[in-house]
Amino acid sequence: MRKNVRWLLALSLVLCFNLTLFLRGQELELKSTEFLKKAVAQVSEQNLASTIKTLQSFKTRNLLSEQKAVNFGIGAARRWLLKEFQKISGLEVIDDGYLLPKQGGRIVKDTELHNIMAIKRGKSQKERIIIVNAHYDTIAVSKDGKFNYEDVNTEAPGANDDASGVAAVLEMAKIIAGYETEATIHFIAFAGEEQGLVGSTLYAQKMKQQGKNVEAVLTMDMISNIKAGNGYIESTRVRVFSEDPNDSPSRELARYVRRIGEMVLPAMEVDLIFRADRFGRGGDHTPFVVEGYPGIRFTEARENYSNQHTTTDVFDNLSVPYCADITRIILASVLSLACAPEAPVVTNERGAPLLGRGQGYDAELRWKWHGEMNKIAGFKVYVRDTKAPFWERSYFAGKTDSFILKNVSIDDLTFGVAAVGTNGLESLVSVYRMPPRRRAEYVFQEIK
């Protein structure tokens, strides 16, 4: 009841809210939805199936497997991927290679590691980077049912893990290459995931060392299985993992994807799992999160553990329509983010949130935006209860740098603001967060 009263007070703002701004906000949302739906309609199940089958045909893509054979091993898969990306006009294709000496328990011999990248350059002067990725390497248990890392040529078709994710990355690259974007997109097929996230770790560290502005990392790993080993079948839900706390940048990226998914494919549930990854496991988004970048992982709703890392992880056990639906949601999210303006800044020079109490009992939000105002439609304010998983209310504020919610306590709610382009597409929501309190230090002398 108290919560309802609080929201009624907040909603009283609508009585004096500019109706023109409200209608403008609705118009922009419809415009962006139409744009994204046209893009996702281009996803081809035939293309996805063809990529998965081809990657499976190399028998294994183990990081330590054959490098020079024509139709076998990770080297053949790498060269095929390079050629496929090179066929796409408008992309800069890069072989991001590393020499790895024998080390640890999984890299049991000297080898090469190659991340395959295709870069779509954006228009933004302040380069914003979105990384869309999957891993193309595979691994399988040996005949004794155990991981013997010296057994590098064991058949490991990896149709679901993770040819399905690579197929989605390649399909998105083909479609998004035809659009003009503000942000730069890195489409990446990582190697060495099965040896401990090696390829993604090296690349995440490189991005950090170079001071790159990585705005979002979206990882697809196993997105084609619908039947679990216990018989459960589920084809209308995808899990999206994001790290704590509840207002972390990764969690905000996950909320963004959920909202876009509801817009373009409402029949598919984007189920946000408030955990960095599956319990005790990790994916290629993890090294980026470690470096301080927002990262999330997409994984099928039902896993079949009897097929994972075995010779039965083959195309015949997958659902291409399910893979296509997940691809559509991620494509729409990436395209929306890439074509949207950069997010506003909601902190001052000292890192304190630009959130105040107005006349004492109001929520006064302020923000800064460094882009060209004529290129955006305005800003959108978001509000939710501190315990709520998703944003509950939003207000289109127009071209301004502040917004007041009358009779609303800044203590009880979480607030955020996004920039809205003239195309209706929104940036990530910048959340007003309290900086961590520092440990106090005092000069004193103990009295005895």
**Chain centre to alpha carbon of residue 231:** 29
Residue 15 sits in the same domain as residue 52: no
Give the pLDDT of residue 1. 55
Number of structural domains found in the chain: 2
* Residue 78 placed within a domain: yes
Q: Name the 3-class secondary structure at 427.
A: coil
Where in the sequence is the domain holding 27, given as residue range(s)? 2-34+342-431
Burial of 235 (0-12, 13-18, 19+ CB in 10 A): middle
295, 311, 339: which is the final residue of a domain?
339
Give the pLDDT of residue 19. 66
Residue 86 sits in the same domain as residue 108: yes
Residue 96 sits in the same domain as residue 195: yes
Q: Mind giving me the DSSP string for 266-321?
A: TTSEEEEESSSSSTT---TTHHHHHTT--EEEEEESS--TTTTTSTT--GGG--HH
Q: How far apart (Å, rounded) are the C-alpha atoms in residues 93 and 291?
A: 25
Residue 277 sits in the same domain as residue 367: no
Question: How are the residues of the chain apportioned to helix, strand and coil, as percentages rounded to the nearest 5?
Answer: 30, 25, 45
Give the pLDDT of residue 14. 46
pTM of the model: 0.93
Give the pLDDT of residue 13. 47
339, 366, 401: which is the final residue of a domain?
339
| Interval 226-285: pLDDT, tens | 999 999 999 999 999 999 999 999 999 999 999 999 999 999 999 999 999 999 888 999
* Residue 11 placed within a domain: yes
Give the pLDDT of residue 284. 97
313, 339, 365: which is the final residue of a domain?
339
Q: How far apart (Å, rounded) are the C-alpha atoms in residues 241 and 253?
A: 10
* Owner of token pair 């199940």: 45
Torsion from C-alpha of 123, 127, 128, 134, nearest 10 degrees: 90
* Residue 188 placed within a domain: yes
- Over the chain, what is the mean pLDDT? 93
* Residue 232 placed within a domain: yes
Q: How far apart (Å, rounded) are the C-alpha atoms in residues 394 and 417?
A: 9
* Residue 131 placed within a domain: yes
Residue 13 sits in the same domain as residue 132: no
Residue 24 sits in the same domain as residue 53: no
Query: What's the CATH code of the domain at 134?
Result: 3.40.630.10
Q: Which residues of the chain have pLDDT under 70?
A: 1-21
Cβ-contact 220, 326 below 8 angstroms: yes
Residue 128 sits in the same domain as residue 271: yes
* Residue 163 in tokens: 């040819």
* Residue 315 placed within a domain: yes
Q: Mind giving me the DSSP string for 122-153?
A: -S-SS--EEEEEEE-------TTSS--TT-TT
Residue 326 sits in the same domain as residue 193: yes
Residue 319 sits in the same domain as residue 306: yes
| Interval 426-435: pLDDT, tens | 999 999 998 8
Residue 69 sits in the same domain as residue 148: yes
Residue 348 sits in the same domain as residue 335: no
Cβ-contact 243, 283 below 8 angstroms: no
Give the pLDDT of residue 21. 66
Residue 352 sits in the same domain as residue 250: no
Q: How far apart (Å, rounded) are the C-alpha atoms in residues 370 and 313?
A: 49
* Residue 412 placed within a domain: yes
Query: What's the CATH code of the domain at 22?
Result: 2.60.40.10
Give the pLDDT of residue 312. 96
